[in-house]
Amino acid sequence: MGIYDLTIEELSEYFLQNNDKKFYATELFSWLYNKKITSFDEASNIKKEVRDRLKKDFIISNIDIITVEEGRDVKKYLFKLSDFEHIEAVLMNHDYGNSLCISSQVGCNMGCKFCESGRRKKVRNLTTGEMVEQILKVENESGLRISHVVIMGIGEPFDNYDNICKLIKIINHSKGLNIGARHITVSTCGIVPKILEFSDFPYQVNLAISLHAPNDYIRNKIMPISKAYPLDELISSIKIYLGKTNRRVTFEYIMLDDVNDSVDNAIELVRLLRGINCYVNLIPYNETDALQYRRSKPLTIAKFYDILKENNVTVTIRREFGGTISAACGQLRSKREEI
Ligand code: SAH
């Protein structure tokens, strides 16, 4: 088992079961996440025999950076996992801090038609530790502190629900990476039962929904998940989530040329979101060679934006980071595997 798979409570339990002092958990957390040790022997205030047992029971590192591509204010990392699978993470430097977009699975089963990641079926879930380590390895390589984490890389986080919840507990913990819950965002394509379950998760993290269409007709064409959970069910679950958490949700909306970007689509979207505490993030599509979709024209995006704004929907157009370095979801991994 990987040491980064454990919450501080689980680690306390481990030490108790071995008749060690429970507070070793706090100490070890601070060695791992604050001093960022790479071998248990560096944890000098923990007894040698305990360190030896830790070495026997846990692996420290399970993932390695194999390439880094750099663009303006952005770096994209390709990692190799211990079973030789590949995943990616993207670091973005904002004026408010450094945000890391991490992967949650190897491959993805959601099959969104415009998405590069979905071209490869899910191979497996990432462990909690493999997700934590993406952050640690990037902090180490870049020399920067990651202040924001978005779970928007390869994979569907709500198809790896338990590990995502553990990840949040570990990185949010004051002795862990101490990343504020409000600085953590989980993005889902809309798995309704998990949205409902997440509404009881007691951390004030952000929820983003990949909406991408204002009606089921368009959504069914581009997002197969919509057949399992149609828009009315999705919107009802979001209302329940809002009722319980009182936390504004984000709707992501990729602008796809001639697919979902007409004036009528904008008006329909306004109607769909009426009365929901949300904001809409319009995303210029990042084109990828293997797929036929094209990004909407700048004027079309501007018009769509204006219609939402005029109708009092809070809306932003996503700042672009990774265009030149294949930073769209799954692109770097595909490039590598095609080579
Ligand atoms: N499965 C989750 C999280 C991973 S995808 C989800 O669906 O939300 C993260 C976001 O990137 C989603 O909104 C997805 O629709 C979007 N995306 C995928 N490919 C893209 C591309 N080529 N250009 C822009 N956004 C893309």
**Which pLDDT belongs to residue 289?**
85
Tokens of 189: 């394509």
Instruction: Check which CATH number belongs to the domain holding 8 and give it.
Output: 1.10.150.530
Cα(219) to ligand 1 centroid in Å equals: 14
**Average pLDDT, stretch 247-268?**
98
**Average pLDDT, stretch 179-199?**
98
**Which pLDDT belongs to residue 318?**
86
Question: Active site includes 88?
Answer: yes
Pair (267, 238) in one structural domain = yes
Pair (50, 131) in one structural domain = no
Q: Could you read off the pLDDT of 222-256 as tens digits, one per residue?
A: 999 999 999 999 999 999 999 999 999 999 999 99
**Residue with the nearest Cα to atom 21 of ligand 1?**
286
Percent of the chain with pLDDT over 70: 94
**Which pLDDT belongs to residue 339?**
39
Pair (198, 262) in one structural domain = yes
C-alpha distance from residue 10 to each of 15, 42, 53, 144 (Å): 9, 21, 16, 28
Count: domains in the chain: 2
Please report the DSSP string for 39-59 in residue order: SGGG-TTS-HHHHHHHHHH-B
Pair (42, 87) in one structural domain = no
Helices within 42-105 (DSSP H only): 48-57
CB 304 within 8 A of CB 266: yes
Cα(159) to ligand 1 centroid in Å equals: 15
**Which SS3 state, helix, strand or coil, does residue 75 take?**
strand
**What's the domain range around 160?**
63-338
Pair (226, 261) in one structural domain = yes
Q: Could you read off the pLDDT of 102-124 as tens digits, one per residue?
A: 999 999 999 999 998 878 899 99
- Per-residue confidence band for 297, with pLDDT thresholds at 50, 70 and 90: very high
Pair (29, 103) in one structural domain = no
Pair (194, 242) in one structural domain = yes
Pair (144, 27) in one structural domain = no
**Residue with the nearest Cα to atom 7 of ligand 1?**
189
Of 282, 292, 216, 290, nearest in space to 251 by CA: 282
Pair (50, 72) in one structural domain = no
**Residue with the nearest Cα to atom 12 of ligand 1?**
210
Pair (46, 121) in one structural domain = no
Q: Could you read off the pLDDT of 67-99 as tens digits, one per residue?
A: 999 988 999 999 999 999 999 999 999 999 999
Residue 336 pLDDT exceeds 60: no
Ligand 1 test: best mutation among 209, 254, 280, 320, most atoms within 8 Å of CB?
254
Instruction: Check which CATH number belongs to the domain holding 325 and give it.
Output: 3.20.20.70
| Ligand 1 neighbour 329 (Cβ under 6 A) | yes
Pair (49, 177) in one structural domain = no
| Ligand 1 neighbour 280 (Cβ under 6 A) | no
Percent of the chain with pLDDT over 90: 88
Ligand 1 test: best mutation among 88, 152, 225, 318, most atoms within 8 Å of CB?
152
Residue 17 pLDDT exceeds 80: yes
Helices within the chain (DSSP H only): 8-17, 24-29, 48-57, 128-142, 161-172, 192-198, 216-222, 225-228, 231-245, 263-273, 298-310, 331-338
Question: Active site includes 329?
Answer: yes
The residue among 57, 76, 91 that closes a domain is 57
The residue among 24, 42, 57 that closes a domain is 57
Place of tokens 């993207």: 90
- Per-residue confidence band for 63, with pLDDT thresholds at 50, 70 and 90: very high
The residue among 21, 42, 57 that closes a domain is 57
- Per-residue confidence band for 194, with pLDDT thresholds at 50, 70 and 90: very high
Pair (146, 248) in one structural domain = yes
| Ligand 1 neighbour 209 (Cβ under 6 A) | no
Q: Could you read off the pLDDT of 322-332 as tens digits, one per residue?
A: 555 555 656 65
